[in-house]
Amino acid sequence: MLKKLPGDETRNLVSTTPDTAVVFRPAIVRTPAAVTIAIFIGRLLVGLARLIWRHPVAVAVSAIPVVLGWLYGWRVVLVAVTIPLSVLIPWALFDRESFNAWIGWRLLAFWRLIWVYRRHWHAVMTVSGLARHLQGRDYVPHLIRVRCTSWADLVSVKMLTGQAVTDWADRIEHLAHGFGATSCRVSVARAGRLLLTFPRRDPLAVPLPAIALPATVSVGPLEIGICEDGRPWHLKIHGTHVLVAGATGAGKGSILWSVIRALIPAIWTGVAQVWGLDPKLMELSFGRAIFEGRYAATPEECADLLEEAVSLMQKRAAKFAGVQREHIPTVEDPFILIVVDEVAFLTAYQSDRTLKQRIMAALATLTTQGRAVGFGVLAALQDPRKDVLTIRNLFPDKIALRLDESEQVDMVLGDGARDRGALADHISSVPEEGAGIGYVRLETSPDPIRVRAAYVSDADIRDMAALFETEEAV
């Protein structure tokens, strides 16, 4: 058995006895001091150039006073500092948004790069298992840059050669706690580079009241809440199907009613219709007038209404055949959204086998053929298991609200969604803190987006229904 030990020359042979392993010690190549110093100076210059290129504002703020003090004395430095502060302070006080966009977030990014990420980078990478030690050398993923927004740090990272995204996605909890964040999300920026998102605060912590009725007629994308980055959450419903999954009290009704509320002008003008299936008789019954007679509660009524939708869809498909490939909502051919409050009551929990087969066949037909001719399905359920809803893969867009188990996240959003940061099982069960909060995974993007739907109260629903009750009375 041969064993190599670093540190000495090969002449120091320990033993040649047959019973003892022969140990070889490789020779040490001594690098001249001049070469070592040159390498150190070169790395220092490259690092300074990179620092100046990536953080020009922070470097200028730090370097200019030092240079002026060295050349002209402290009085010039005092004047040079006072004049910019007299401009920056009022700017920050009276126009905080533009100040942060130009200066504030850049300075914060520089500070957090030095104090938080650069200072702990090597230790976190090593402990989490993302660094490698091969042939006496340490290989650590490269920290490229840090950008700050109003709510999170966006950290760009270059992976080691041979690493995969799953290597990082499996360690999001290590990364979050290592850098003092509540969570971490991993997304692919480009080949070999990742974008790590570390939230500093939660912009969705405060419940969002019902959004005002739109002033224009539209069938989507509809504004129904806000995204984590502060932008309005626009949900596409025309040309797709949406599945909403969440435990009891997770806020599924907020999404259903926010969508209906955003469609009110389109329903009023006749370019859209909403058909309601309410097997629990608790959610959609508040606004029954909005559905204009297309409302069903019992399993028999739900099966009949779904089959009516299938028949109308097939007639429209025959009408569009060879004429047009995309649906444009009109009064003659309106967009029809079928809202199912608890789809599991009509599928897995339906005791009548005949009704169950009718409902499943109608839903499968609508979700496979309805997109192109202006039919959409918005379904909500509590249990996302495959045996509860066998056609869940026919819904291109999916929303996961609070779920009971971590495995359910991937059941709803697809494999790997939780590893990318969709921690739907960590959403608070307190209604004020977690109701309406969820993660959206769209057909066009594999990365989940954290959102919160606006809360539509019972009073808001009654006011919406009153608009149609008044019309019927007239």
Is 34 known to sit in a ligand binding site? Answer: no
Is 216 known to sit in a ligand binding site? Answer: no
Is 180 known to sit in a ligand binding site? Answer: no
Decide if 380 contacts 412 (C-beta within 8 A): no
Continuous segment of H or E residues that includes residue 155: strand 152-158
Give the strand order in the sheet containing 152-158: 142-148, 152-158, 193-199, 185-190
Is 249 known to sit in a ligand binding site? Answer: yes
Within a 13 Å sphere around the CA of 183, how many CA atoms are in the beta-carbon half? 18
Within a 13 Å sphere around the CA of 373, how many CA atoms are in the beta-carbon half? 22
CA distance 399 to 382: 12
**How far does Cα 449 stand from its chain's mean position?**
2
CA distance readout (Å), 61 to 21, 58, 106, 146, 304: 62, 5, 11, 18, 71
What's the chain's length in residues? 474
Is 347 known to sit in a ligand binding site? Answer: no
Torsion of CA 253, 259, 260, 264, to 10 degrees: 150
Is 250 known to sit in a ligand binding site? Answer: yes
State the amino acid at position 362 in one-letter form: A
Q: DSSP 3-state assignment of 165? A: helix
Annotated binding-site positions: 246-253
Annotated binding-site positions for ATP: 246-253
